[in-house]
Amino acid sequence: MTDAVITDVPRSVSDARAAGRFLLIASTVLLCVWVLVPIYLLIVNTLSSPAEVTGFPKTGIPSFDFGSVQFFLSFAGVARALWNSVLVAVLTMVLSIGLGAPAGYALSRFDFPGKEAFRLLVVMTRAFPLPLLALPLAVMFIRVGLDDTALGLAIVHTVLAIPFAVLITFSLFSGIPIELEEAAWTLGCNRWQAFRKVVLPLVLPGIAASAVFAFTISWNEVFAAAVMTIENRTLTAFLIQSLNVSPLHLKFAGGAALVIPALIFIFAVRKYLFAMWGIANR
C-alpha cells in the first residue's frame, strides 16, 4: 500500500512532464514545418521545367530541371534588374552605415544638448509608413535629375535603413567600455587613433552585420522601388510590374532569386539579430 503510493506520485508527475515534453517537441516540429514547407515548395517549382510548373497535379519533388532558371536568367531585363538590385542595396548599405555609424557613436559617447531631439527624430521614423516617401521624393528627384537612378532609390531605402543603423551602432559602441578608449588615450593615442586601433577592430563584425541588414532591407523593398524606377528597375520592381503578364515559371524563379540571397544574409547575421532588436526596441 505504502509502496503503491510512493511509486504512484512520481509516476504521475513524470507522466505530466513527458506529456509536456511531447507537446513542446510536437509544436516545435509543426512550426518548423509551417516555416520551411512553403520555401521548399517554391524551390521545387524553381527546379522544375516550365512544363512541370504549369502542369497538374504536382508531385512536390523537384526534377532538377534548370529550364525555369535558364528562362528567367535569359529573360529580357532580368540581368539588368538583378544588377540594379545589387547596386541599390550596396549604395543603401554604404549610405546608411556611413551616416548612421557616426551618429550611433555620438549617441553612445557624449552627453550634449539636443541629444534627445535627435533620438526623437530617429524614433519618429518608425511611426511613419516610410515607403510612401517615394511619392514626394519622385517629384523632388525629377527636379534634381535623380529620378530613375540607383542613387535616388538608395536614398529612399536609406531612410528605411538609417534608424536601424543608428540604433544598432549605438548599442555596438555602447558595448565597448569607454575605459578601453581612455586607456588608449593615456597610452599615446589621439581620439582618432584610439578609435581606429581599439574601437573599430572590436565593432567591425557588428558593423558588418548591420550593413548586411541594411542591404537586406533594400534588397527586399518593393513599393518605393516600383514607384521610383522605370528604366533602371530593381528585381522587386521588375517582378511586381510583370506579375500579371509573366508566366508562372518566371514568377517562381524570380521569387527564388529574391529568397535565396535573403536566406544567406539572415544566416550570416543570425548572431546579431536578437541583439539588434533587443535595442531597437527601446
Partner 1 sequence: MAEIVIKNVAKSFGSFKALHSIDLTISDQEFMVLLGASGCGKTTLLRIVAGLETPTQGEVWIGGRRVDHLPPRERGIAMVFQNYAVFPHLTVFENIAFGLRMKKLPQAEIDGRVTRTAELMHIEQLLKRYSGQLSGGQRQRVAVARALAMEPDVILMDEPLSNLDALLRLEMRAELKGVLAASKTTTIYVTHDQVEAMSLADRISVMNQGRIVQAATPVEVYRNPAARFVGSFIGNPPMNFIPATREGEGRWNVAGITVEGPDAGRERLDFAIRPEDVDIAPGGLKATARVVEPLGAHTLVTTEVNGAMFRAVLDSDIRVSPGDELSLVPKPDRVRWFDPETTAAV
Partner 2 sequence: MTPRFLPYALLLPATLFLLVFFLYPFVQIAVLAFSGPEGFTLQHVQTMTSHWKFGTALTNTIVLAAIVVPIQLVMALSMASIVTKLKTGRSAILYIFTIPLGLSDLAAGIIWLAIFEQSGFLNSVLYGLGIIEQPILFLGYQNIWVIFLAVILAEVWRATAIVMVILVSGMGLIPREYYEAAEVFGASPWKRFVKITLPMLRPSLQSALILRTLAAFEVFAVVVALGGTTLPVLMGETFQWQFALQDRNVASAYALVILAISIASTLFFLRVLRVPKEARI
Within 197-256, the residues that bind partner 1 by CB under 8 A are: 197-198, 201-202
Place of cell 544567406: 264
If one asks whether residue 180 binds partner 2 (CB under 8 A), the answer comes out as no
**Alpha carbons 251 and 247: distance in angstroms, whole number:** 7
Q: Which does 48 bind (CB under 5 to 8 A by kind): partner 2, partner 1, none?
A: none
**Alpha carbons 265 and 263: distance in angstroms, whole number:** 5
Bond into 10 cis (ω within 30): no
| Nearer of residues 149 and 219 to partner 2, judged by Cβ | 219
Q: Which does 74 bind (CB under 5 to 8 A by kind): partner 1, partner 2, none?
A: none
If one asks whether residue 188 binds partner 1 (CB under 8 A), the answer comes out as yes
If one asks whether residue 243 binds partner 2 (CB under 8 A), the answer comes out as yes
Q: Which does 35 bind (CB under 5 to 8 A by kind): partner 2, partner 1, none?
A: partner 2
If one asks whether residue 188 binds partner 2 (CB under 8 A), the answer comes out as no
Place of cell 574601437: 199
DSSP secondary structure string for all residues of 82-140: HHHHHHHHHHHHHHHHHHHHHHHHHHHH---TTHHHHHHHHHHGGGS-GGGGHHHHHHH
- Least CB distance to partner 1 at residue 175 (A): 11
If one asks whether residue 113 binds partner 1 (CB under 8 A), the answer comes out as no
| Nearer of residues 126 and 191 to partner 1, judged by Cβ | 191
- Least CB distance to partner 2 at residue 5 (A): 23
DSSP conformational letter for 133: G
| Nearer of residues 6 and 17 to partner 2, judged by Cβ | 17
**111: amino acid identity, one letter:** D
How deeply is 1 buried, as exposed, middle or buried, from its count of CB atoms within 10 A (0-12, 13-18, 19+)?
exposed
If one asks whether residue 50 binds partner 2 (CB under 8 A), the answer comes out as no
Under 8 Å between Cβ of 72 and 257: yes
Using alpha carbons, list the distances in angstroms from residue 38 to 249, 255, 259, 270, 279.
16, 12, 12, 21, 31
**Alpha carbons 176 and 103: distance in angstroms, whole number:** 16
Q: Which does 64 bind (CB under 5 to 8 A by kind): partner 1, partner 2, none?
A: none
Q: Among residues 9, 63, 73, 185, which is the contact residue for partner 2, using CB under 8 A?
A: 185
Q: Among residues 193, 262, 263, 277, which is the contact residue for partner 1, using CB under 8 A?
A: 193
| Nearer of residues 189 and 240 to partner 1, judged by Cβ | 189
Q: Among residues 5, 112, 143, 144, which is the contact residue for partner 2, using CB under 8 A?
A: 112
DSSP conformational letter for 132: G
If one asks whether residue 45 binds partner 2 (CB under 8 A), the answer comes out as yes
**Alpha carbons 253 and 272: distance in angstroms, whole number:** 30
Under 8 Å between Cβ of 130 and 159: yes
Q: Which residues bind to partner 1, rule: CB under 8 A?
A: 177, 179-180, 182-190, 193, 197-198, 201-202
